[in-house]
Chain A
Amino acid sequence: GNSVTQMEGPVTLSEEAFLTINCTYTATGYPSLFWYVQYPGEGLQLLLKATKADDKGSNKGFEATYRKETTSFHLEKGSVQVSDSAVYFCALPLYSGYSTLTFGKGTMLLVSP
């Protein structure tokens, strides 16, 4: 099935720094790609998605571009805030046409004032 690999954390940044969290995938075809965020003690929330190659998903200042050439979907934000401290998960469908998602292990982001 499809799979995803995320960079290990934690990623530690100061407020207003630039953020990149790497995600690469292995997939048959061109499935939709997702980023989820999990705040402490909460469930996962959908942060953004891209449904085809070269699509850019964006939300709350976060962006990710679906790059089929490099099979990547890196998450970026120009200026992080303390409130962005959370765990971020990259995900995609396990199989083409099969609906279960497979998730990366998650990357913890810690932002200090």
Chain B
Amino acid sequence: DVKVTQSSRYLVKRTGEKVFLECVQDMDHENMFWYRQDPGLGLRLIYFSYDVKMKEKGDIPEGYSVSREKKERFSLILESASTNQTSMYLCASQAPSYEQYFGPGTRLTVT
């Protein structure tokens, strides 16, 4: 089975802090994604990566950056956390046949 893990299930940070969310997959997939999920807004794509050191902006990249130094690890960085970044963050890894496999999610609260 594909395993996607995220570094934290719950996280509480203060406004202005730098926040790192990490995601690791164990299936050697090339494609990885970061989404945020908010009530009534569905899943929104923040960033994705097709290869090591390669990244592409999604629909809502503002306020976020990413890092992919190794194939199995894809990190989402909030440079200066704000209250409007309180959300559920989901990481996914994608098989060559298109299906995406998700981690358990990180519920981030910024106070």
List A residues at the B interface (Cβ < 8 Å).
31-32, 34, 36, 41-46, 49, 51, 89, 91, 93, 99-101, 103-106
Contact in complex: B90, A100 (CB < 8 Å): no
Assess whether A45 is in contact with B102, with CB atoms less than 8 Å apart. Answer: yes
Residues on B with beta carbons closer than 8 Å to the beta carbon of A93: 98
A31 to B99, CA, bound (A): 12
**Cα distance A35–B43 in the bound complex, in angstroms:** 14
A57 CB to closest chain B CB, in angstroms?
Answer: 11
> What is the predominant secondary structure among interface residues of chain A facing chain B?
strand
Instruction: Name 16 extra pairs, CB < 8 A, besides A43-B102, A44-B92, A49-B99.
Output: A32-B99, A34-B99, A41-B107, A42-B104, A43-B104, A44-B100, A46-B101, A51-B97, A91-B100, A99-B31, A99-B50, A99-B94, A100-B33, A100-B58, A101-B94, A103-B43
Residues of B that sit less than 8 Å from A by CB: 4, 31, 33, 42-43, 45, 48, 50, 58, 90, 92, 94, 97-105, 107
- Tell me whether A105 and B42 are in contact (CB under 8 A): yes
B102 touching A104, Cβ below 8 Å: no
**Interface residue from B31, B97, B102 paired with A44 (Cβ < 8 Å):** B102
Closest to A46 in B: B99
Nearest-neighbour CB distance to chain B for A3, whole angstroms, equals 12
Specify which chain B residues have a CB less than 8 angstroms from the CB of A45 in the assembled complex. 102
- Mind listing 22 A-B residue pairs with CB under 8 Å? A32-B99, A41-B105, A42-B104, A43-B102, A43-B103, A44-B43, A44-B90, A44-B92, A44-B100, A46-B99, A46-B100, A46-B101, A93-B98, A99-B31, A99-B50, A99-B98, A100-B33, A100-B48, A103-B43, A104-B42, A105-B42, A106-B42
Return B31 CB to nearest CB of chain A, in Å.
Answer: 5
Q: Which residues of A contact B58 (CB under 8 A)?
A: 100
Q: Chain A: which residue is nearest B10 at the CB level?
A: A41
Residues of B with C-beta under 8 A to A44: 43, 90, 92, 100, 102
Residues of B near A89 (CB, < 8 A) are 43
